[in-house]
Amino acid sequence: MDKQSQWKTSTGFILASAGSAIGLGAMWKFPYMAGIYGGGAFLLMFLIFTIFVGLPLLIMEFTVGKMGQTYTTKIYSKLTQKKWLNIIGWNGNLAVFVLFGFYSVIGGWIIIYIFNVAAQILSFNQTKLGEIQFESIIGSPVLTLIGQGVFILLTMLIVMLGVEKGLEKASKFMIPLLFIFLIIIVVKSLTLDGSIEGLKYILQPRLEDVSMEGVLFALGQSFFTLSLGTTGMITYASYASKDMPIKTSAVSIVLMNILVSVLAGLAIFPAIKSFGYKPTEGPGLLFKVLPKVFDQMAFGSGFYLIFLILFLFAALTSSISLLELNVSNFTKNDNTKRKPVAFWASILVFIISIPATLSFSSLSGIKFGAGTIFDNMDFLVSNILMPLGALGTTLVVGHLLNKNELKEHFGNNRFKLFLPWYYLVKFVLPIVIIVIFIVQFI
């Protein structure tokens, strides 16, 4: 069966692409990046990039997928008759491959935390959640490799068995539940002593905190959360039916992502200040702070466990889209090859992710370029491959595709948004991406 007819209704498409977008990026990466690059200033830059760069790019990727209706290492040549342009698809494929590698590290941490908290509850252990020692857990190479292996295995099984549809249906209530939990954490966090300091930190943009590096990482963050430049969203749009609403889907995905990122910030920063952590803790931030917040609630362990399960769910709906892209490119949408391709891609991802996992333990001393091996993998994807992929697609859409055909797929309503969008993609966005891209190497 050809995957190209996967979704009969636009709801399936919206749920899957929202599932791909909302994940670790908004909940785990946003707070720690904001903590390093100036809190409110980072939030402001992230909002500007997400609305003025991310949203038009997401609409662009949906349009390309809808027009091309095939896998992304072929879609560029199909649309332009230029074979070499498929390199943009391969760039995206490489990006998701490396991305899956370091994404699974954090997925593994969630799984380890789930087991820890569940064990604590089952043994009626009265110790506090706050005593779960991040350093001793994440410092164990064996434990973290097992966690990561389990995360990749879960992703692989979902993709192999083709049960993504079930997951998409489940996200109808899992995602709203996640929102509710985030709001509960925000409320608790804001009532902690000294929380106002943290609130100010994340909401008040201070100009002196803006750095070129921060600008670069804020752009990378909006690419990351919206899954842009990897062609992942093009793939999903290529599966969707012809009448899928591109603009409303894109707008709702962007709004949901902003909401989750802001809620994550409001949940974490007041608590950071209250418990005396530094905002610059790095990737472990969320895992260090949240147990302490849940400790302050009645039935905290139980609530924390439910939250972790929802968090894992959100991470899995993103990781399946990472594996799915590899599967669709290497099977060329021939579903009979789905299982072996999913299997071998997962094994390869596990292998390349070993150094990323160990960069929090035995390999933590190895530092170069952007930091540890983990940091470098993230930098390569978020700050190089994703912007390059998006740049390539803007050039194809703006300069090689037929404007009228684009307009037809874009759909023009009474707001007449086609032309502003088209010129943004054709001239403005490539310049923005190129300038920011070059500046990082100066």
Task: Point out which span in 31-39, 180-188, 224-232, 266-274 binds ligand PHE (CB under 6 A).
Answer: 224-232
Tell me the one-letter amino acid at 141: P
Provide the mask over 231-270, with x wherever binding to ligand PHE is found by CB under 6 A and - wherever it is not.
-x--------------------------------------
Binding status of residue 224 toward ligand PHE by CB under 6 A: yes
Structure token pair of residue 116: 């820890």
CB closest to ligand PHE, residue no = 25
Q: Least CB distance from residue 394 to ligand PHE, whole Å?
A: 17
Binding status of residue 30 toward ligand PHE by CB under 6 A: no
Task: Point out which span in 9-17, 166-174, 222-230, 434-442 binds ligand PHE (CB under 6 A).
Answer: 222-230
SS3 of 159, please? helix
- Among positions 148, 171, 222, 230, the unique one binding ligand PHE when judged by CB under 6 A: 230
The residue whose two tokens read 């968090």 is 311
Q: Least CB distance from residue 189 to ligand PHE, whole Å?
A: 22
d(CA 246, CA 115): 40
d(CA 39, CA 90): 35
Number of residues counted as binding ligand PHE (CB under 6 A) = 16
Beta bridge mates, 368:
371
Task: Point out which span in 77-85, 162-170, 204-212, 316-324 binds ligand PHE (CB under 6 A).
Answer: 316-324
SS3 of 357, please? helix
Q: Least CB distance from residue 122 to ligand PHE, whole Å?
A: 30
Task: Point out which span in 3-11, 82-90, 125-133, 221-229 binds ligand PHE (CB under 6 A).
Answer: 221-229
Asked if 107 and 312 touch (Cβ cutoff 8 Å), the reply is yes
Reference 254, options 222, 230, 229; nearest CA is 222
> What are the residues whose beta carbons fall under 8 Å from the beta carbon of 19, sequence distance 6 or more?
167, 168, 171, 175, 314, 317, 318, 320, 321
Provide the mask over 4-23, with x wherever binding to ligand PHE is found by CB under 6 A and - wherever it is not.
----------------xx-x
Q: Least CB distance from residue 28 to ligand PHE, whole Å?
A: 8
Beta bridge mates, 2:
334
Q: Least CB distance from residue 226 to ligand PHE, whole Å?
A: 6
Q: What is the DSSP letter of 210?
A: -
> What are the residues whose beta carbons fall under 8 Å from the beta carbon of 75, sequence distance 6 or more?
64, 65, 68, 69, 86, 89, 231, 234, 238
CB atoms within 10 A of CB 279: 21
Where along the sequence are the contacts to ligand PHE (CB under 6 A)? 20-21, 23-26, 96, 99, 224-225, 227, 230, 232, 318, 321-322
